Amino acid sequence: MTVLVKPKPIEGHKVRAFQMLIDGKWVDSAEGRTIERVAPGHGVTVSRYQAGTKADAEKAIAAARRAFDEGAWPRMTASERSLVLLRAADMIAERADELAYLDAIESGKPISQAKGELGGAADIWRYAAALARDLHGESYNTLGDGTLGVVLREAIGVVSIITPWNFPFLIVSQKLPFALAAGCTTVVKPSELTSASTLLLGEILEAAGVPSGVVNIITGTGPEVGAPMTTHPDVDMVSFTGSTGVGRLTMANAAQTLKKVSLELGGKNPQIVFPDANLDEFIDAAVFGAYFNAGECCNAGSRLILHRDIADEVTRRIAALSAKVKVGDPLDPETQVGAIITPQHLEKIAGYVSAASRDGAAVAHGGTALDLGMGQFMAPTILSSVRPDMAVAREEVFGPVLSVLTFETTEEAIRIANAIDYGLSAGVWSRDFDTCLTIGRRVRAGTIWMNTFMDGASELPFGGYRQSGLGRELGRHAVEDYTETKTLNMHMGARTGWWMPR
């Protein structure tokens, strides 16, 4: 059984209409078309955005280009930019409840989770503000008496930032403040499913003192708006978070003009569990890792790789705890798993479960969509007897579906963990620190959690190996990702020419 929290009609429901931010002005799209967002947990329209076009994208890119080439932002001192980012962080914190509500109602995530994400986002903006003042180059006075070398770090220029629907405000906050800290100007495209909180961020940045044209926010679909943002010759860098398939397309588009590309893509993240692990703590982490954000999370711990000696016991205990997870109304503070983003995505998740069952996997818990009277929901699901070659064990389901695999030796566990295309994150559970370090060194992933799962901090880099992406976000080098290095090679005194006698 699953604990259900049936959605209630939204009190005082009113559709909120938004415009786009281009060159410091709030404007409608060039063609006047709009996009309506239906709340996945309540089945009613809650937001209306402008349906941007290529013409709108080009206007935004031109504004960002002017702001970079001629405007004040790249020429401000680092301390001046830092103060603007700090003001923005304070305003984000002040409006956290409003921002969290928009993310919860549009994405279907639980309101309590959305509020937690807003706290994390404000911290990231403050961290980026600190890094703005620490960005520096290098000097070399060891090249001989007649030579001095200076290496500058300069803002890369205009950055296209494209963000997904699963963490609307948090992910834009992992990109935008660092680009601004470096002195870049930007064009931001949030997902057409969850644009509201990013548009509200535009209001906040205007109030915080970001000059016109430095942050442009356009709404619309990938083909209409995202594509020109990745191909336009006046864009110097693309920072994209989303699916691996769209990431490949983004990279191919950017290659036409050899732009710098940062990609944070999919994951199929294992948790490897040994018999000596603290199983009480692991089982809680396993349920959290699988069902957090309804599994619509690139970092989801969607593969359990359990030692055969404990596999049956652990699966039973995870199923028992899964039955207590509260699923339903995103606006109820007690909800732990909210709605699935669209009916089409719910159908895709259910399709993975059905295919796995046909291939011999057993449904240890859940396995079906839930009818709560409105919206679309999926029961927390556990699939046991999963083989490494099954699609559900190799592909990103992006839903609350946990696949259980087994191993006998450390070598086998590492082989199973690495035998996929992704390498975003992984977890290992053992009281033996040698075992943890062995897994940590040999599993090919950007983050390895040891005796915990999905912890994070602004100071710690985030990103993946292989088809989980390129580059890293967060961490002390995050601002540097939005810069180019320039060498100044200075000669002093008389120079010996090529044709002059030596």
User: DSSP of 296-325, one letter per residue?
Assistant: --TT---EEEEEHHHHHHHHHHHHHHHTT-
Tell me the one-letter amino acid at 56. Answer: D
Which whole number is the average pLDDT over 309-338? 98
pLDDT for residue 501: 60
Percentage of residues in the chain with pLDDT exceeding 90? 97
Q: Where in the sequence of the chain do the CATH 3.40.605.10 domains occur?
A: 3-265+468-486
H helix and E strand count, the chain: 15, 27
Between CA 138 and CA 150 the distance in angstroms is: 6
What pLDDT does residue 13 have?
A: 84
Place of tokens 């430095």: 214
In the block, residue with structure tokens 């086998």: 412
298 is catalytic: yes
What H or E segment, with its residue span, contains residue 425? strand 425-429
- Taking the C-alpha atoms of residue 385 and residue 4, their distance in angstroms, rounded to an integer, is 27
Q: Are 60 and 187 in contact (CB under 8 A)?
A: yes
Q: Which strand (E) or helix (H) includes residue 392?
A: helix 391-394
Are 318 and 312 a contacting pair, CB within 8 Å? no
**Cβ–Cβ contacts within 10 Å for residue 309, how many?**
12
In this prediction, residue 493 carries a pLDDT of 87
Instruction: Please report which confidence band the pLDDT of residue 500 belongs to, taking 50, 70 and 90 as the band edges.
Output: low
Token representation of residue 158: 């205009």
User: Where do the CATH 3.40.309.10 domains begin and end in the chain?
Assistant: 270-450
Question: What's the alpha-carbon Rg for the chain, to the nearest Å?
Answer: 24
Q: In this structure, what token pair is assigned to residue 404?
A: 């259980």
State yes or no: pLDDT of 19 exceeds 60.
yes
What average pLDDT does range 31-53 have in this prediction? 97
> What is the DSSP track for 70-117?
TSSGGGS-HHHHHHHHHHHHHHHHHTHHHHHHHHHHHH---HHHHHHH
> Which among 415, 389, 497, 483 has a CA at the least distance from the CA of 137?
483
Whether 218 shows a pLDDT value over 90: the answer reads: yes
Q: Are 325 and 287 contacting, i.e. CB atoms less than 8 angstroms apart? A: yes
Query: What does residue 113 show for φ and ψ, rounded to 5 degrees?
Result: -65, -45
- Whether pTM > 0.95 for this model: the answer is yes
- Which residues have CB under 8 Å from 391's CB, separation 6+? 352, 355, 356
Q: Is 412 a catalytic residue?
A: no
CATH class of 3-265+468-486: alpha beta
Which two three-digit tokens encode residue 265?
A: 């893509």
Query: What integer best gives the mean pLDDT of the chain?
Result: 97
Q: Does domain 270-450 have CATH number 3.40.309.10?
A: yes
* Per-residue pLDDT tens over the stretch 408-462: 999 999 999 999 999 999 999 999 999 999 999 999 999 999 999 999 999 999 9
Q: What does the CA dihedral 186, 189, 195, 197 come to, rounded to 10 degrees?
A: -20
Catalytic residue among 298, 396, 436, 473: 298
Whole-angstrom distance, CA of residue 57 vs CA of residue 54: 5
In the chain, the amino acid numbered 437 is L
DSSP class of residue 431?
S
**Which residue in 117, 192, 224, 264 is the catalytic one?**
264
pLDDT tens digits, 182-216 = 999 999 999 999 999 999 999 999 999 999 999 99
pLDDT surpasses 70 at 329: yes
Which residues does residue 272 pair with via DSSP β-bridges, in sequence order? 305, 428
**Tokens 């897994």 label which residue?**
439
Q: How many residues does the chain have?
A: 502
**Around 74, how many Cα atoms within 13 Å sit in the side-chain half-sphere?**
22
Position 2 scores a pLDDT of 87
Asked if 111 contacts 331 with a C-beta cutoff of 8 angstroms, the reply is: yes
pLDDT surpassing 90 at residue 11: no
CA distance linking residue 71 with residue 79, whole number of Å: 17
The answer on pLDDT for 378 being more than 90 is yes
CB neighbours of 466 closer than 8 A, spacing ≥ 6?
421, 422, 423, 444
Q: Which amino acid is at 408?
A: E
Determine the pLDDT at residue 502: 55
Identify each DSSP E strand in 180-316 by its residue range: 185-189, 215-217, 237-241, 260-264, 270-273, 303-307
How far apart CA 194 and CA 164 sit, in angstroms, is 8
pLDDT of residue 497: 75
8 A C-beta contact, residue 289 and residue 320? no
For residues 153 and 480, is the Cβ–Cβ distance under 8 A? yes
